[in-house]
Amino acid sequence: MFGYRVPAPDEAMLISGGRRGLGGAPFRVVTGHGKFVLPVFRKTRFLTLSMCESEVTETCVTRQGISLHVRAVIAFKVGNDTESIINAGQRFLSDQDQMSILTGRIFAGHLRSIIGSMTVEEIVTERQKLAAEVLDTSKLEMAKIGLIVDSLQIQSIDDGDTGYIDAMSAPHKAAIQRQAQIAQAQATQASVEAQQVAARNQAEYARQTAIVQAEYSAEVDRAQAQAAQAGPLAQAHAQQEVLAAQTELAERAAQLRQQQLVAEIVRPAEAEAERIKVLAIADAERMKIQAEAAASHDRVALDRMLIDQLPLIVKEAAGGLAGANVNVLNGADGLGEIAAGLVAQGLTILDSVRQNLSGQNGQNGQGAEQPSGWLELPGFSRPEKEDGTEGGPSSAG
């Protein structure tokens, strides 16, 4: 719109002409909004409120008399209040670049003054203190010209060729170098130890891997060996079972053969031995009887006499049956049976005679005297010899 002027956000609009500004200022200050300005009757100028920079490079002498080349950078601007804008506008509105030059000169003077009251060690080690003192001493002066300082940075301090700062830093450098060497040695030692630990771990892992591989290999070998032995073992077990069966069969055959040998050889041998034993006993008995007969000649004579008289005994017994009433039912067979009975009776009588004879011989052994070779039988008497003595048996009837 015609006659309406608006300042930028980092500018202050100064309107001169017409009525005077506030506080006796020759212009009105407008910031942050627009305003109608009558042409010809009013004049408008703009003052920057943005940040400005000033660099200071100054040779300063310390309290020890050592020259130092100091380089500093100041960041400043026009204050935002109306008073600061009026002060800065009255001084720098026509040539705003003069703000940096004037600020550098002001700070150079304060910097020389403050460094002159400090030692090199303080300046080097306490730069922040140096900057704070420079700001404090220049604050009031900067406010008079409408400027405020945002920051002051000491960028470099150099003693030139004197070597004072280098000499001052030598112990620290040596300590730092020593510490660096110690740190390097420790780092090297730690690296070597780490390498050794890694090598041991690798060796241990390799050993464990080798052990596991060996165990796996041994297990595989055992499995293969067992698999390879399975067939021969099965065959051996089968052969063992066959041998066991054959052995059992052979034992049974041997037992059967033993039984056969017992039946064929031992039993007949035992029977033969028993027969020989019986025969020997019988022969011994016979020999005994013969010995006894030989010892008793009368008894032998008596036995012969009895044998000789046996037909007569049978005859006498048959004679006794002559008057008996005997019925023969079966003819010739019946007669034969009767005759056989008579003979058997005669043999019985002969046995009785022998038994009596044995009893008499026993009594004779006790001292009784009997006639030798004769036995008194019922119905029989001793025959008389021609010389009047008794002879052989004769029938009483």
Which pLDDT tens digit goes with each residue over 115-141? 888 888 888 888 888 888 888 888 888
- Kindly tell me if the per-residue pLDDT of 391 is higher than 50: no
Average the pLDDT over 82-93 and give the result. 85
Counting every residue written for the chain, the total comes to: 397
| Percentage helix, strand, coil for the chain under 3-state DSSP, each rounded to 5 | 60, 15, 25
- What was the pLDDT predicted at 203? 92
- What was the pLDDT predicted at 372? 41
Q: Which residues of 189-210 are buried (b: 16+ CB within 10 A; e: fewer)?
A: eeeeeeeeeeeeeeeeeeeeee
- Kindly tell me if the per-residue pLDDT of 209 is higher than 70: yes
Tens digit of each residue's pLDDT (9 = 90 or more) over 27-80: 788 887 877 777 777 788 888 888 899 998 888 888 888 888 889 999 999 888
Instruction: Provide the 3-class DSSP secondary structure of residue 84.
Output: helix
Torsion angle in degrees (nearest 10) through CA of 320, 321, 325, 328: 180
- What was the pLDDT predicted at 370? 43
- Kindly tell me if the per-residue pLDDT of 277 is higher than 70: yes
- The residues, any chain, with a CB within 8 Å of residue 42's CB and separated by 6 or more, are 15, 16, 17, 18
Say which range, 45-49, 153-157, 357-361, has the weakest mean pLDDT: 357-361
276: how many CB neighbours lie within 10 A of its CB? 11
Average the pLDDT over 278-293 and give the result. 79
* 349 vs 185: which has the higher pLDDT: 185
The overall average pLDDT reported for the chain is 76
User: Which phi and psi (to 5°) does residue 70 adopt?
Assistant: -115, 135
- Kindly tell me if the per-residue pLDDT of 314 is higher than 70: no
Say which range, 25-29, 145-149, 267-271, 316-320, has the weakest mean pLDDT: 316-320
Say which range, 64-68, 79-83, 169-173, has the weakest mean pLDDT: 169-173
Work out the percent of the chain whose per-residue pLDDT is above 70. 71
Q: How confident is the model at residue 389 (pLDDT cuts 50, 70, 90)?
A: very low
Say which range, 80-89, 111-120, 308-317, 369-378, has the weakest mean pLDDT: 369-378
> How far apart are the C-alpha atoms of 140 and 134, rounded to whole Å?
11
Average the pLDDT over 360-364 and give the result. 51
List residues bridging with 381 in a β-sheet. 394
- What was the pLDDT predicted at 270? 81
- Kindly tell me if the per-residue pLDDT of 85 is higher than 80: yes
Q: What are the angstrom distances between the C-alpha of 118 and each of 122, 136, 165? A: 6, 16, 14
- Kindly tell me if the per-residue pLDDT of 84 is higher than 60: yes
Identify the CA nearest to 391 among candidates 268, 103, 380, 271. Answer: 380
Work out the percent of the chain whose per-residue pLDDT is above 90. 7
Residue type, 367: G
Instruction: Dig out the tokens for 163 from the structure.
Output: 């070597």
